[in-house]
Structure 1
């Protein structure tokens, strides 16, 4: 991928100046932020338009917050599309794949057979798209050649969060890749304000007709900048209904783009429709799992979930996996033509 900007792209590890700043910060809550002197001509040329800076007459205008450009670097790409991190330092687990093959070379005439294959694999640590945003503020503009701008990244971070150093590295690199500067400061936010940015508040809706379920899931609030939200919700409900869920789920507030269905206490399917790049089958006690933050709900051993990426044929793959999980729980009959291929063959 060609380099998006002229400045340094990112850091392989937390730089020393950030580590020094952390030592001087007493607060548990950290905001990734930095100031920069910018040549007015660079703003006029649109070099910072992706972070909300523009020229209006003789004034520099800051609009935001803005979504970081995914092409700015690998950390920005992970922020926009998620991150599948292979963990060779974790113990291997058994995984089962389901494939469909034509009988005697002609599926149209002879039908198809489902096969499952199980083997030991490295675990994957899945990070959903983080949705970090950058907000620019003009701190000083005296009409000269340069202006002073502050760039602040959201959400804020907590030292007590799981894998704080990794998430800090991710955040400072998103800011660096998009602005050419990075740093950390103490946050004035309260713990309650911080928790509201990471904890998903779920609502459970009972099953019903497609129109009733869609109406319940939509409510009166639509996520911002998602004109096709109702269309996607209706498509998911139609799909889920074929498997007779016991209820439907949707996140509230800032997490209203999370939609899914609950089939058993330990089988929930959900997706963040805002990003729409994958859907998840979660194999955990839902009461406990629903209490976890969005930052660590899936950042766990992938024995607890499967991720179906939205590539060609993903609906068919999801249907096969969901059918087999329901069969394991005695809620579906075994499919005709299904056979299991022993591990190692």
Structure 2
């Protein structure tokens, strides 16, 4: 997966497609431009095993990586600190003098964060060379701040970074079909991954509404749709769960209170219509109100699951 940003603050969205316990690297295949940059920062032969800690002069991330940093503790009283300054002057007789003096100033106490000291390392497969940042990462075990730092170090130096398999192959992200219009205006992801996409949408809602909406969406997800699609408003609009073999398409809302719509046929054209057009034209196969019995109505759409526990 390619990351092409100036800097990131967290890495959850970039790791959501990776299984817990999987080993990954943050790195890049060595292309011509990457090779040129590696030689610029001090690499010599670009042979397997060659490594270095990037110069702190490359930018703030590299500076922290090599030197560490102090974090102001603004909840504490200010203290007197000193900085040295070279001072020279002439006396009344025209004689020059100089010395280094300590200049006092007030500042907040600092909490010192040691340097991560992440090295860039050249690694290889049978037919390609890569540069990776630091040690391999284990999803679910490596601390997020370590992963974020490795990614940001690569972004600062190379303007991009990739998440690579343990065997250095690129990760392919599960497909999400992004539609160019609202879905009922107003890929295939397992529930554990799908839930991560919904979290930012629901974070400002009350705990009660979150529980209700998550329960509805998880209920449909358990029947294993082959894809889902979103509109230009992202998950704030309707989410389409596609069951292609059944010619069945469920439109469920990530908003509290809206009904569930079930369609057969051309879901793309149907999703461009407004709810008023859908209802007035009686174009939906079912319209389920979110009341007691809703889960039973959903279950009846999938007779093969009748009497079976859905995992």
TM-score bracket relative to the smaller structure: 0.3 to 0.5
* TM-score, normalising length: structure 1: 0.30
Q: Which has the larger radius of gyration?
A: 2
TM-score when scaled to structure 2?
0.33
